[in-house]
Amino acid sequence: MPASEILSAQRNDPSFPDIWEELNWRGLVHVSTDPDALKELLAGPPIVYYCGFDPTAPSLHLGNLVQLLVLRRLQLAGHRPLGLVGGSTGLIGDPRPSAERTLNDRETVAEWVGRLQGQIERFLSFEGDAAARIVNNLDWTAPLSAIDFLREIGKHFRVGTMLKKDAVAARLNSDAGISYTEFSYQILQGMDFLELYRQYDCVLQTGGSDQWGNLTSGTDLIHRVEGRSVHAIGTPLITNSDGTKFGKSEGNAIWLDAEMCSPYRFYQFWLNTDDSDVIARLKVFTFLTREQIEALEHEVREQPFRREAQRTLAREVTTLVHGRGATDAVIAASEALFGQGDLSSLDAATLAAAVEELENAELGEDATVVQALVATKLCQSLSEARRAIAQGGVYLNNAKVEDPDATLAGAGLAGGRAVLRRGKKTLAGVVLA
């Protein structure tokens, strides 16, 4: 399914009286400027609003996806989004909680700007009355001299106020401290909002609640310089019900780029969502209606073993990010791995991505299945492996292994890989050397 078809199928839920009510029901408003004024503003004539994305990596991740979907929901309500890619702020990076960022070179940042721009464009429509626009803050920052920056922008910021910002305060209290470079980030982000206000009459910025200090730098600056009240919305940081950071898997972010996080791994991430988290994820990350989500909530309560909510979540978000074709392929792979489909029909990339998520071993075709079971840790010893085969519980590429002396000869599927299964659910991969 092309991105244009995905976009054309998206709708806000008509059961809500306005987009502000829907954003709140979906749990997307953690903090904001005047809520009553925002409700009135968003229910009125179209406004221009923006969210910024810094190229501090070659891909956006799940935290950024929250912002992309907020941009899209507001666009569906008739408002006009600006997707800002931080060509200048990406050269600095906003302050991290614990240590100074490693600064990337200009060529790397420029490359990442292009990659992020391409990702942002997939989630917004660039046609019609609410057509989106991509902007780059390097366009107005690069021509500005240091003297002009200090005279025209820096004079409006008070150091005492800047020191109270959460991100700055955290670093000041750490062993690493904070450099002037990262300390000045909030001034640059504030200047972005001012520039977009002047160029496009932009009156709303959205971002994560951990960016609230930077968001209000812009609202305060515009009020000081232009005498106009503008707005900001901070979305909640998405965490799991146990308090762990969402979007992390063994220390690795879930990226939106298929080369950095395969569609198969992406799908499995959502499929493994805990029952206690799945309804909140459906609200934030899908365009399902309140009625549909409440029906799935009933399923979680009454028949959690079916995992219908998780399968719906995985299908919807993977389609949103990677398209229908990739989603169908990973669903087929998931089913085939557990004996419900033909492994030989899978394409090499999908099979490789699926097998890489398993315990793997590299073996020659002359190795026996018994040796492969031990090498992949499906069995602890050769004798245990032989017993497992004798009991009829071992499968090679979904075919039951009956001969304890069987080898891996001819077992290679696409990309020279094979799949071992012990019982119904314990899997491992074999890469044939």
More confident residue, 101 or 337: 337
In 175-293, the DSSP E strands lie at 202-208, 231-235, 248-249, 252-253
CATH number at residue 368: 3.10.290.10
Residue/partner pairs of 236-245 with CB below 8 Å, 24 or more apart? 236/27, 236/28, 236/30, 236/209, 237/30, 237/63, 237/208, 237/209, 237/210, 238/62, 238/63, 238/66, 238/284, 240/274, 240/277, 241/274, 241/276, 241/277
Section 115-122 average pLDDT:
97
**Among candidate residues 269, 284, 262, 226, the one with its CA nearest the CA of residue 352:** 262
CATH number, domain at 314?
Answer: 1.10.240.10
3-class secondary-structure state, position 100: coil
The angle subtended at Cα 246 by Cα 245 and Cα 247, nearest 5°, is 120
- How much is the pLDDT for 250? 46
Q: Is the pLDDT of residue 45 over 60?
A: yes
- Say whether pLDDT at 169 is over 80: yes
Nearest to 3 by CA among 121, 114, 131, 127: 121
Rounded average pLDDT over 181-200: 94
Q: List, as one string, the DSSP characters of 236-251.
A: PPPB-TTSPBTTEETT
Question: H/E element holding 209?
Answer: none
Is it the case that residue 244 has pLDDT exceeding 80?
no
- What is the model's pTM? 0.91
11 DSSP assignment:
-
Name the least confident of 244-248, 257-261, 405-409. Answer: 244-248
Any idea what DSSP says for residue 380? S
Mean pLDDT of 107-121: 97
Q: Stretch 397-402: mean pLDDT, rounded?
A: 94
User: At which of 176, 208, 237 does a domain end?
Assistant: 237
Q: Which of 289, 306, 337 is the last residue of a domain?
A: 337
Return the pLDDT at 199: 98
Mean pLDDT, the chain, integer: 93
Cα separations in angstroms, 203 against 81, 82, 137, 231, 401: 11, 11, 17, 6, 66
What is the predicted pLDDT for the residue at 125?
97
- Answer whether residue 347 is part of any domain: no
pLDDT greater than 70 at residue 247 = no
Q: What is the DSSP letter of 129?
A: T
Tell whether the model's pLDDT for residue 248 goes beyond 60. no
Band (pLDDT 50/70/90 cuts) for residue 197 is very high
Structural domain containing residue 311: 239-337
pLDDT digits 0-9 by tens, 316-370: 999 999 999 999 999 999 999 888 888 988 888 998 998 888 999 999 999 999 9
Q: What's the mean pLDDT in 160-189?
A: 85
Buried b (16+ CB within 10 A) or exposed e, 337-365: beeebebeebeebbbbbbbeebebbebee
Is there a contact between 119 and 257 (Cβ–Cβ < 8 Å)? Answer: yes
> Is there a single domain that holds both residue 194 and residue 250?
no
Q: Is the pLDDT of residue 111 over 50?
A: yes
Using the predicted structure, report yes or no on whether residue 249 has a pLDDT greater than 70. no
Q: What is the mean pLDDT of residues 111-123?
A: 97
* Domain annotation covers residue 352: no
Do both 175 and 270 map to the same domain?
no
pLDDT band at residue 47 under the 50/70/90 scheme: very high
Structurally, the chain folds into a number of domains equal to 3
User: In terms of domains, do 269 and 322 share one?
Assistant: yes
Distance between first and last Cα of the chain = 36
Burial class (CB in 10 A: 0-12, 13-18, 19+), 66: buried
Phi, psi of 430 (to 5 degrees): -125, 125
> Exposed, middle or buried by CB within 10 Å (0-12, 13-18, 19+), for 84?
buried
Phi, psi (degrees; rounded to nearest 5) at 301: -70, -45
Looking at the structure, do residues 222 and 94 belong to the same domain, yes or no?
yes
The residue that leads in pLDDT, 100 or 323, is: 323
Which of 23-37, 159-173, 320-334, 399-413 is predicted least confidently? 159-173
Higher pLDDT, 3 or 130: 130
Residue 163: pLDDT band (50, 70, 90) is: confident
| Both structure tokens of 90 | 């990406």
Model confidence at 65: pLDDT above 80: yes
The model's pLDDT over 253-296, given as tens digits with 9 standing for 90+, comes to: 899 999 999 999 999 999 999 999 999 999 999 999 999 999 99
Q: Are residues 200 and 187 in the same domain?
A: yes
pLDDT at residue 97 greater than cutoff 80: no
Considering the domain architecture, whether residues 162 and 38 belong to the same structural domain is answered as yes
